[in-house]
């Protein structure tokens, strides 16, 4: 309560649900994405619902390091710094290894791996300079960061999420070496009913409806509840990774 959280990719989907639930829990949440108008709408909804926290929309293209650094300096000016960083923004481009476009691969690396790493570094420095020892960095990973999907188009995406698995564990080790009590966690969902999943289902409403019905996908709110669970663990509990799949998902 009263702590400052940064949620990346807060305009829609999982990030919007996470931003909302943290505001419900009384946090000051800086939500960033390119479509800042959607975050402004969400902030107005949170305000009119009377939630105890506040959502501060911030427009940022996370594929641009300068924009990320400006965001952290704005957060420092307005809120002193961050106590919690939720690296949620991410995307999947269905670009196969044998015929995919380099640009699609680069966009996935830029957002899923580089932006997550830059935000992690900046969030850590922000916590360190204010002696915040109970901070938390949470990476929204994926089940495909733990096993390669039997897919012809998702291997590069999977590789970026394997990177998130390595970076979360690497971060945990570096924090221990620094004798810091800041915690690092990744949350690894299976299929979640968001625009992300819709795109992977070819933006086809019928196909999406059939998939959502047949495997009863996770909802963005399920991931948001997991974030609350992770943040409310007692200080001596380090949750490394939470894997959650729809009960009926096979792969
Ligand atoms: O995705 P979606 P989800 N700069 O597409 C933002 C992982 N995951 O909520 O800029 C700034 O609804 C984008 O904002 P905007 C997945 O890998 C999902 O499902 O306005 N922001 C939007 O807010 C990802 O890491 C599933 O377009 C950028 C958000 O990212 C996380 O969950 C399964 C940006 C994407 O919203 C959230 O995904 C799984 C940029 N350059 C893991 N590029 C699933 N849904 O099934 C994108 O295992 N964003």
pLDDT category of residue 211 using cuts at 50, 70 and 90: confident
- Residues annotated as catalytic are 157
Pocket test for ligand 1, best of 90, 103, 167, 220 (most atoms within 8 A of CB): 90
Give the per-residue pLDDT at 104.
Answer: 96
Q: Which mutation among 118, 196, 217, 245 tests ligand 1's pocket best, with the greatest number of atoms within 8 A of CB?
A: 196
Beta-bridge partners for 54: 28
Is residue 63 within 6 Å of ligand 1 at its C-beta?
yes
ipTM above threshold 0.95: yes
* pLDDT one-digit tens code per residue, 72-127: 999 999 999 999 999 999 999 999 999 999 999 999 999 999 999 999 999 999 99
Mean pLDDT of the chain: 95
CA–CA separation, 64 and 89 (whole Å): 13
In short, whether 142's Cβ falls inside 6 Å of ligand 1 is yes
Residue 250 has pLDDT above 80, yes or no: no
What is the rounded distance in angstroms from the CA atom of residue 114 to the CA atom of residue 144?
Answer: 18
Distance separating alpha carbons of residues 198 and 102, to the nearest angstrom? 23
Supply the pTM of this predicted model: 0.97
Using CA atoms, how far apart are residues 226 and 232, in angstroms rounded to an integer? 10
> Which of 94-103, 115-124, 150-159, 231-240 bottoms out in mean pLDDT, i.e. has the lowest?
150-159
Q: If we measure between CA atoms, which residue out of 221, 242, 240 comes closest to residue 21?
A: 221
Q: Which residues share a beta bridge with 28?
A: 4, 54
Cβ(246) to ligand 1 under 6 A? no
């Amino acid at each position: 309560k009263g702590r400052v959280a940064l949620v990346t990719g807060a305009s829609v989907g999982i990030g919007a649900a996470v931003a909302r639930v943290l505001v419900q829990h009384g946090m000051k949440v800086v939500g960033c994405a390119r479509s800042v108008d959607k975050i402004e709408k969400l902030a107005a909804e949170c305000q009119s619902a009377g939630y105890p926290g506040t959502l501060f929309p911030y427009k940022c293209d996370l594929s641009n390091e300068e924009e990320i650094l400006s965001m952290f300096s704005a957060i420092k000016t307005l809120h002193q710094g961050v106590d919690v960083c939720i690296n949620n923004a991410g995307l999947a481009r269905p670009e196969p290894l044998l015929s995919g476009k380099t640009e699609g691969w680069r966009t996935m690396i830029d957002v899923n791996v580089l932006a997550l790493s830059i935000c992690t570094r900046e969030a850590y420095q922000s916590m360190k300079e204010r002696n915040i020892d109970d901070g938390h960095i949470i990476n929204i990973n994926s089940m495909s960061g733990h096993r390669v999907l039997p897919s012809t188009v998702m291997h590069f995406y999977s590789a970026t999420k394997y990177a998130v698995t390595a970076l979360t564990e690497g971060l945990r080790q570096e924090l221990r070496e620094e004798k810091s009590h800041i915690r690092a966690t990744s949350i690894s969902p299976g299929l979640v009913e968001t625009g992300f999943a819709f795109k992977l289902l070819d933006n086809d409403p019928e196909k999406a409806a059939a998939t959502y019905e047949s495997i009863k996908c996770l909802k963005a709110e399920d991931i948001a509840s997991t974030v609350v669970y992770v943040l409310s663990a007692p200080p001596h509990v380090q949750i490394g990774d939470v894997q959650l799949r729809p009960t009926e998902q096979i792969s």
